[in-house]
Amino acid sequence: MQCHAQLSSTFYDRTCPNALTTIRTTIRQAISSERRMAASLIRLHFHDCFVQGCDASLLLDETPTIVSEKTALPNLGSVRGFGIIEDAKREVEKTCPGVVSCADILAVAARDASSLVGGPSWTVKLGRRDSTTASHTLAETDLPGPFDPLSRLISGFANKGLSTRDMVALSGSHSIGQAQCFLFRDRIYSNGTDIDAGFASTRRRQCPQEDQNGNLAPLDLVTPNQLDNNYFKNLRQRKGLLQSDQVLLSGGSTDDIVLEYSNSPRAFASDFAAAMIKMGDISPLTGQNGIIRTVCGAIN
C-alpha cells in the first residue's frame, strides 16, 4: 500500500522560516536576467515529478553508481536551470544547513517562476525529501513526448494520477518557453491540414529541412514570455508548434477544455495552479525516506 504522507505548506515555518523568501530572491534574479528561465524551471519540476515522483532525482549528476536522468533523451541538451536551483540551495544552506530539500526547492521555484511571468501563484506544499537514486530508464519511458498522440498523453498523465483536464492545463505551460527545430520540423513541413500555412512558412525560416537542429522557436508566438491563455488561442488558429500541442484540439476529448481555456484566462489560471499542486504531490519521499542533500547534484 502506498502510504500517502502529508505535505504541508507550513513545513519549514519553525525550522527555516526564511526559506521561501530566500528561494524567491534567487529565482527572481534568474528570471529578470533571462525571461526564458521561467519556462525552464517549471519544466525541471515537471521532469522531476514524472520520474520516481517529486524527489529531485533529475538533479543528480552521473557517478560510477548513478546513471543520471540528465542524459535521458527527453532531458539531454534541453533541460536547463540546474545552476539556478543550486544557487537557491546554496543560499538556503547558509541560514538553515541540512533542512530544506532540493525537491522542495524545485516545487517552490516552479511556483515563483509562474507568478513572475504573469502566471498564477499557489500555496506550495512542502516536506519532500531527496532521493539517493535516479532512473535514466524511467526518464526515457515516463515523460510525455512532443510526437505523442492524444491517447498516449492522456494515459501518461493518468498513470501519475493526473486527469485529462490536468494534462491540458499543464500543457498551457507551453505559453512560455521555446522548442528546438528538430522537435517540430516534421510538423512544419508536413503540409498537414492541422497547421496554419502562414505559421508553417514563418517557422521554416529558422528551421531548414536539414541541419540547424538546435534552432529555437517560441512555443507561443504571441506572448512568448507571458504565462497566459494565448497558447490555447493559438491552437484554435492551428498554430500549435509541437504535434503534442495541436493534438489537444484535433476533434478529440480535449477540444472542449481547450476552447474553455481559450475563452477564459481565469479558468486556465485556476486549473493550472490546481494541476501544479497535484503534480507536486506525485510520490514524494517523506518522513524517514530519502535524505536532505547538501548539494543538489550529489548524494551527501
Q: How many whole angstroms separate alpha carbon 260 and alpha carbon 232?
A: 9
* Amino acid 3: pLDDT: 45
Asked if 78 and 170 touch (Cβ cutoff 8 Å), the reply is: no
Which residues of the chain are modeled with pLDDT < 70?
1-5
Spatial distance between the Cα atoms of 206 and 196, rounded to a whole number of angstroms: 17
State the pTM of this model: 0.96
Please give the full DSSP string across 29-65, using - where no structure is assigned.
HHHHH-TTHHHHHHHHHHHHHTTTSSSSGGGPPP-SS
The confidence score (pLDDT) of residue 1 equals: 31
Query: Catalytic residue at 47?
Result: yes
From 45, 47, 136, 174, the catalytic residue: 47
Contacts with 1 (C-beta within 8 Å, 6 or more apart), sequence order? none
C-alpha 271/C-alpha 120 separation (Å) is 10
**CA of residue 38 relative to chain centroid, distance:** 10
Residue written as grid cell 530566500: 22
Beta carbons of 44 and 85 less than 8 angstroms apart:
yes
Decide: helix, strand or coil at residue 250.
Answer: coil
- The span from the CA of 258 to the CA of 156, in Å, is 19
